[in-house]
Amino acid sequence: MKKYTALLLLFVLSISCVSTKSTIKNIDENAPIPKLTANNTFVLTEYAKDKKYGYDQDYPINVFFRNVKDESINQQRFLNALTGPKGEKLTYSKLESCCPFPTKRNDIGAGLLDVYEITWEGNKTPVKLYFNIFEKGALLCPIGFKIK
């Protein structure tokens, strides 16, 4: 599966224009590694003020990167730290990878954002959030969600 992902990434990059400058606006190399709860979720303490945070490909949730075998663990740690707006339990699934951008944290010099679809009971329209596993940034609760 990992080889397939790498080949797909190479194909996407070869047919698309990847700027040599990243359009991601909220990278912060000085952001601390988030703490984990006993349930292996991130400890979130702050709410986003920018309505683009997580909802826009230029303002993804930057959840860091450990290694290839754990490529989705930090998205899960983040999403499991959230609830719906009234405390509802979330369900989520990865929809796709998109939006190539340059990064120094990948052997091929480029990365993709992961797009997740999030729903909860009573929500008629699923929410899509963008995640960046390659870069660091402040982890905040996106507008429309609550911290568990």
Over residues 33-45, the pLDDT tens digits come to 889 999 999 999 9
Give all strands (DSSP E) within the chain, no chain letters.
61-62, 82-83, 90-102, 110-120, 127-132, 146-147
Tokens of 89: 């339990």
pLDDT value of residue 77: 95
Helix ranges, the chain (H): 2-15, 73-79
pLDDT tens-digit map of 84-106: 999 999 999 999 999 999 988 87
Tell me the one-letter amino acid at 66: R
DSSP state of 33: P
What is the residue extent of each domain of the chain? 2-147
pLDDT over 90 percentage in the chain = 67
pLDDT value of residue 4: 47
pLDDT value of residue 20: 64
pLDDT value of residue 69: 61
Can you say how many angstroms the Cα of residue 105 is from the centroid of all Cα atoms in its chain? Answer: 15
Q: Is 107 exposed, middle or buried (0-12, 13-18, 19+ CB in 10 A)?
A: exposed
pLDDT value of residue 66: 58
Contact assessment for residue 108 and residue 10, using Cβ atoms and an 8 Å cutoff: yes
pLDDT value of residue 107: 78
pTM for the full model?
0.84
pLDDT value of residue 58: 96
Which residues of the chain carry a pLDDT beneath 50? Answer: 3-4, 7-8, 11, 13-19
